[in-house]
Structure 1
Amino acid sequence: MHVNCIRKHIFAAMQQFDVIIIGGGAAGFFTAINLAEKNASLKIAILERGKEVLSKVRISGGGRCNVTHACFDANELTGYYPRGNKELRGPFHTFATADTVTWFQRHGVLIKKEDDGRMFPQANTSQAVIDCFIRLQQSLRIQLFTGENVLSIQHNADKWQLQTTQHIFAAKEICIATGSSPAMWKLLQQLGHTIVPPVPSLFTFNCKDERIIHLPGVATNVSVHIKDTRLRSSGPLLITHWGMSGPAVLKLSAWGARILHDMNYAFTLIVNWLHDEDAESILQKLKSLKEQQAQRIIIVKSPFTIPNRLWESLVQAASINKQTRWADVSKTQLQQLAQQLCQCSFNIKGKSTFKEEFVTAGGIDLKEIDFKTMRSKVLPSVYFAGEVLNIDAITGGFNFQNAWTGGYIAALAMDESMLI
């Protein structure tokens, strides 16, 4: 076959689009939908390497989809992002929590707020979000391709050419919304982008300690810090079969993602079970209890806000017998008890994934992104949205908010670019 005929044949076999979104997750769908709503004439495709789309949306929030968090101040909102907090300030002034709630409600998904600030679909299921996205994808004629693992990305004659496991695609502009994908990061690195090496974030702590091993399910408000670091956190702590979880621990894991990775997840966690009380003031309260409740058995009832089962364990850890009365407790035992209550030391050895919501710290270096447009500073006509960037947040709906914000801004920018 003549060379020109071969070229024509390849060109004809190529799937041609104006915009291709790589990644069929939250950020990818949100980008495609917003772009299609702004410009119905564009030919848009979503490429997903797996057989199913929106899989992370399905499992998030225990299957309910924690859409966002009830933090409506853009500057305050950035404080929940260990990586990306400075860069997101501008984008959050364009599209943030209130915009997210309005967007979903305008598209038929009513949102409710829970006491801890997390926001979910009123239907209480992630399927409400998935159904909304699929309905819009179909009605807006966005083409969806699954099982399309992108093997190579090349820029030829003002177009991007994508070779997948099944097809060759071409588009004027592409948006990469592949989340924490080592394969995509490798491709982008080959094209000139800098990748901040990924490490786990949002994980629980493994701890086999006699004081808590028989207390799975016990939860209480605490303040915690990691010895010999500046890492501190507060909030609910949940004792589990494998150690410790809950918001206080998850926040520590997010803010300390790189430090704890360098420690090989072996460190000392200091827990103040009484939140912000100090050992000296607690010692004085314990001395008062010794006088005021002299005939009562110490272990029977917690005089503080902590659960009784935890109180019993800490009393025994302070070398106080189960039958000991307040009147009979020694000064040394009171000091040990104050220490257990306010400066309780645990050896952490290892981590566990928080439910199925695996989040990483790492990705495209943020210095290489124009956050007014989510456009690459390195590659022409390439945009990014979601966790493919070196942005991650603590638990509570913040990672999804980053996906919605980035996707919306990328859609705006691509629409404007197409009009030029």
Structure 2
Amino acid sequence: MNKKIILVLLALLLFIFNASVINASDSKDSYNENELSEIKNYENTDIALTINNHIATWQGSDNDYLINSYAGIYLNESNDIVLGLKISSKLSFDELVKAYQEHLDSAGVNANSYIVEEKAFSLIELKLMRDYLLKVTELKISAISIDQSENKLKVTVNDSQLAFEVIAFLDLTYKDYASNMIEISIKEERKLLSYVYSADKIKYRKKILFIWFDQWYGTVGFNATRNGLNGIVTNSHVAPYDYSMFTNSNVFIGKANISIFGGTVDAAFVPFSDQNAWGVSNEIHQVGQSSGTYYIKWLDYVVEGSNVKSHGVTTNYQYGQVLSVDTAETISGEYFYDLIETSIVLEGGDSGGPLVRYYPRSVNYGLVGINFAGDGTTSLTIKIDNIVSQLGVSVVFN
């Protein structure tokens, strides 16, 4: 037999052997208990998103009546999928469960993959009350989140007197008000996370006379393209419109040509000043105990209870869970809504950093959004879909 053919066959056998070793090492039997829990969370998040998206298609269809019973979907502490349902006037709870199971089964979702729990309020009812409260500016509500697992609205105000006023207002004016529909907490307003003077990846500098001074810092969210230009995306409060942005080593990056602060986004696009001098990348460089390079590979989505990971120049990287996928809050005088709230505690300088969904031992991430505010106990994230649509950018995946 020709020596070249023999060498090719040997190389092929070696490749097959190595591939089998890699696959064996990545089998679930090789993961520890914590990693298996993370895998379950990751996989069940995907299933929960499929269920939620399928139910959304019922709007305006023959199944429209079932949406009035939908109380949301989330992952519990055991990472099991929980489908919340409220009994309707048309169907008993058992009939309602059967109807949902039949429709979801037709979409390829097995009934054994989720748990059904009876809830007092539907998601529609919670959203109606939320919208009702947000319209009354005199109440001075600083934040409202829908907590699907606890089946209630979580309202934040700045002092106890405001808390009494919210309850009194609902008692007098809201026909369907129930005390177990709402939980009020008193907390100081969240702070934007950019104002910290430490090593950073992106910063605003100002020239006074002949001397440059660093003004504030933030974190690059991701590389992107917009209208044929390459650049980076971060928070609007990190990179206001037409402000000169620099790297930590004082190299000029460019000026934001679009910067939006309010509504569903706190985001800005900074095109590279010299399109030939800057390359684009999907890499996330992580330092510290678990140093390495990770990659943004796709846009991703979460449900309440999903595991997430944040990156920021101050706290480096942190793990946490999604507390709400539907939070509204007033920050620095601007109203924001359709936010993600997580258990991650961020610090100044972390603003603009990416929030990702991860799989154990994988270097590839799904981009969920960018962080922008915290209060020392939880943090808020701008959803990636809102960033892409509002800024008109495309995320770099290569």
- Give yes or no for TM over 0.5: no
Higher strand proportion: 2
* Largest Rg, 1 or 2: 1
- Greater relative contact order: 1 or 2 (C-alpha under 8 angstroms, separation 6 or more)? 1
TM-score when normalising by structure 2: 0.25
TM-score when normalising by structure 1: 0.24
